[in-house]
Structure 1
Amino acid sequence: MDGTSEGHRPGVRVYVDEVRTLRFDDGAPVTAASGIAPLGDGWLLAQDDSTHAAWLRDGAVRAVRVLPPVDGLDLFSEAAGTKRLKPDLEVACPAEVDGEPAVLLLGSGSTPQRMRGVLVRLTNGRPQVAAAELGPLYAAVAARLDLPAEHLNLEGASRHGDTVRWFNRGNLSAGVVSASVDVPLEALVDAVLGGDAASVPVGRSLAYELGEVEGVGLAVTDAIALPDGRVLLSAAAEDSPNAVDDGPVVATALALVDGDRVVDLVALPEVDGHVHKVEGLALRRFADGEAHLLAVVDDDDPDVPSTVLGLRVDLTAGRQRVKRATDV
């Protein structure tokens, strides 16, 4: 796996410093973790198979309702025949409302059920939630990417000042490359708070050539902006036929990109001999050329609790290597 640019090899290295299995305070597993962003003194995790998010703080995990039940259900799965109903919240992005921190959760977009946005903010230390249908915005994003709506799979977002870069996962087997569009954060927040979703401008698109592993194309699952303007992308090589159905994951990776140029690409270390599909990234801190990330894992198994990984990404090394540090 080699995504370095011509004439330049920054040699990204990835270390796994922490591994934690996620369970709510009542012992129920956090499942299908798909996005993570800071909220108050903790971290809000989106679950793509649920109407609840998970608020991780002070070692505890609290459930936060973000959407009403669908046909009386709060959890959805293929085994139960309810996967088509799930809101599929895949994105968790830092935002603000009236200058106060908030988290924006966004659906993947491949069906009308998945074209909703949620805003979570704190009022007197308690989560306050607003949600809205955003179908016209998703239609505009599909048009900008020159895709039919059923090929949308908007799985990640990075925050760039007043702009959200929204990433479509893509599927090389279906001829869809990973790509992004730029959307003004304030307009997006306003739409979720009841504004006109059709009026949200959809800016330039960028495409990302991430290559393939064992004949399966790597595709973006999330992104995080670095202070220098570059972006770290998480990517998975998942043998899936379309934007809805899951498939076996043969490899996962981190890509360092500058604009639409892939500067370097490095495999994510296996944990306990298992390839974990990282679906959400959050930046804890950046110092001395190292990005310290939290990464959440969705193993596409409703019986397996999601995992949060503490990743340390060294962007200064002279030669590309992957090493696993001691789990804690």
Structure 2
Amino acid sequence: MIRTLQRRTLTLEAPETAGRPAHVSAASGLVAVGPWLYVVADDTLHLAVFPREGNAPGRSVRLFPGELPLEHRARKAAKPDLEALCLLAPFTSCPHGALLAVPSGSTAARQRGALLPLTAEGSLLGETREVDFTALYTQLTRELGPLNIEGAAVSGGRLRLLQRGNGAQGTDALVDLDHERLLRALEGDRTLGPEAVRTVRRWELGHIGGVRLTFTDASPLPDGRIVFTAAAENTRDAYSDGPVTGSAIGVLAPDGSPLFLDAVDAKVKLEGVSAHVERGQVHMLLVADADDPAVPSPLLEAVLEGVPG
């Protein structure tokens, strides 16, 4: 079992909007760049930015215009459901790289993402650029059924999306997009289409407490491996929430084959991971979602030792 340590909770300097708590409550994706931690939450129109070190509150950066309802059910129906955040290497219009916020695609309203250019130091630069995933997700729904993209990581000339197969009809899968086609789309009209898809492979991760484990996030390692998180949530579909029996962390080889999978000691729904290698060990920062707007998301840390290469 993997030991986790809570580093802090994700408190904010101020609420994103009036009537909301001054914390992130539904953290769903995490990227560490330079001195910053970037967190997307699945119930908001904002990105949260935290200092990488210390416990100072974070700040909110707007991704999309408008306002979401405060009431839980109405908010759930209207939210963009950003479930993954990944780091893109430099390209022409983003010479210092960028963050790509990826939507789940689990409803028609959840198919717009966001591109956020970075400075050389890893800070945000300029305005957010909206990205349309509709055409890509229409094709993936034909292949996989109900869609729920929850992880994204760039590795080996591809953007690997992790599909979370909630419920009896859900399918976990690895979807590899061609990196060059992705960048051409982002340089153009920022509309992602089915021509970017290279491979789609279905997956089974096992169970915790009798509940099926499903992908929740991904983070690349320098050698082409990918660290992923998974959660066992007893829910009937990609829209509904349910009780969580546990979470796990795993590693995929560059070709997508499994290398490692183990449960974590904390009974949380892990939703985001940012990993790096230090002295032969995989060090991870992790965020979890309590599915309760009154509860701040925690920032956890963990280390993997002796993972096969």
Same fold (TM over 0.5): yes
Match of 1:308 in 2: 299
Q: For 1:260 and 1:122, how far apart are their aligned partners in 2?
A: 29
Match of 2:14 in 1: 26
Q: For the structure 1 residues 202 and 188, does the alpha-carbon distance in structure 2 shift closer, same or farther, using more than 3 Å as the test?
A: same
Correspondence 1:97-176 to 2 at 5 A: 97-98=91-92, 99-122=95-118, 126-127=124-125, 128-143=127-142, 146-148=143-145, 151-171=146-166, 173-176=167-170
Alignment pair present for 1:289 and 2:268 = no
Q: For 1:155 and 1:238, how far apart are their aligned partners in 2?
A: 14
Match of 1:180 in 2: 174
Task: Identify the structure with bigger relative contact order (alpha carbons < 8 Å, sequence gap 6+).
Answer: 1
Match of 2:64 in 1: 67
Aligned match for 2:271, one of 275, 279, 282? 279
Q: For the structure 1 residues 40 and 189, does the alpha-carbon distance in structure 2 shift closer, same or farther, using more than 3 Å as the test?
A: farther
Report how many residues are paired: 291
Q: For 1:40 and 1:227, how far apart are their aligned partners in 2?
A: 16
One-letter amino acid of the structure 1 residue matched with residue 110 of structure 2: R
Q: Is the 8 A contact 1:157 1:164 kept in 2?
A: yes
Q: For the structure 1 residues 190 and 88, does the alpha-carbon distance in structure 2 shift closer, same or farther, using more than 3 Å as the test?
A: farther
Match of 1:321 in 2: none
Match of 1:191 in 2: 185
Aligned match for 1:262, one of 232, 254, 258? 258
User: Aligned with 2:118: secondary structure?
Assistant: strand
Unaligned runs of 5+ in 1: 1-12, 318-328
Q: For the structure 1 residues 126 and 166, does the alpha-carbon distance in structure 2 shift closer, same or farther, using more than 3 Å as the test?
A: closer
Q: Is the 8 A contact 1:225 1:231 kept in 2?
A: yes
Give, in angstroms, the shift of residue 196 of structure 1.
4.1
Q: For 1:131 and 1:222, how far apart are their aligned partners in 2?
A: 21
One-letter amino acid of the structure 1 residue matched with residue 303 of structure 2: R
One-letter amino acid of the structure 1 residue matched with residue 292 of structure 2: D
Q: For the structure 1 residues 229 and 122, does the alpha-carbon distance in structure 2 shift closer, same or farther, using more than 3 Å as the test?
A: closer
Match of 2:18 in 1: none
User: Aligned with 2:170: secondary structure?
Assistant: coil
One-letter amino acid of the structure 1 residue matched with residue 4 of structure 2: V
Q: Is the 8 A contact 1:109 1:115 kept in 2?
A: yes
Q: Is the 8 A contact 1:158 1:224 kept in 2?
A: yes
Give, in angstroms, the shift of residue 16 of structure 1.
2.2
Q: For 2:173 and 2:195, how far apart are their aligned partners in 1?
A: 19
Q: Is the 8 A contact 1:221 1:279 kept in 2?
A: yes
- The C-alpha deviation readout for 1:140-161, integer Å capped at 9, x for no partner, is 2223xx223xx10000012204
Alignment pair present for 1:50 and 2:50 = no
Aligned match for 2:81, one of 88, 102, 118? 88
Give, in angstroms, the shift of residue 311 of structure 1.
1.6
Q: Is the 8 A contact 2:38 2:48 kept in 1?
A: yes
One-letter amino acid of the structure 1 residue matched with residue 283 of structure 2: H
Correspondence 1:200-239 to 2 at 5 A: 200-239=195-234
User: Aligned with 1:228: secondary structure?
Assistant: coil
One-letter amino acid of the structure 2 residue matched with residue 159 of structure 1: V
Q: For 2:63 and 2:251, how far apart are their aligned partners in 1?
A: 32
User: Aligned with 1:49: secondary structure?
Assistant: coil
Give, in angstroms, the shift of residue 93 of structure 1.
0.4
Give, in angstroms, the shift of residue 310 of structure 1.
1.5
User: Aligned with 1:114: secondary structure?
Assistant: coil
- Provide TM-score, normalisation by structure 1: 0.81
**What is the CA RMSD across the aligned residues, in angstroms?**
2.3
Q: For 2:71 and 2:154, how far apart are their aligned partners in 1?
A: 29
Q: For the structure 1 residues 306 and 139, does the alpha-carbon distance in structure 2 shift closer, same or farther, using more than 3 Å as the test?
A: same
- The C-alpha deviation readout for 1:127-174, integer Å capped at 9, x for no partner, is 43100322101112223xx223xx100000122043110010013x42
Give the percent of matched residue pairs that are identical in Structure 1 and Structure 2: 35
Give, in angstroms, the shift of residue 111 of structure 1.
1.2
Q: For 2:151 and 2:243, how far apart are their aligned partners in 1?
A: 20
Q: Is the 8 A contact 1:39 1:102 kept in 2?
A: no
Q: For 1:91 and 1:200, how far apart are their aligned partners in 2?
A: 21
One-letter amino acid of the structure 2 residue matched with residue 22 of structure 1: L
Q: Is the 8 A contact 2:102 2:152 kept in 1?
A: no
User: Aligned with 2:48: secondary structure?
Assistant: strand
Q: For the structure 1 residues 250 and 126, does the alpha-carbon distance in structure 2 shift closer, same or farther, using more than 3 Å as the test?
A: closer
Q: For the structure 1 residues 233 and 126, does the alpha-carbon distance in structure 2 shift closer, same or farther, using more than 3 Å as the test?
A: closer
Q: For 1:181 and 1:129, how far apart are their aligned partners in 2?
A: 25
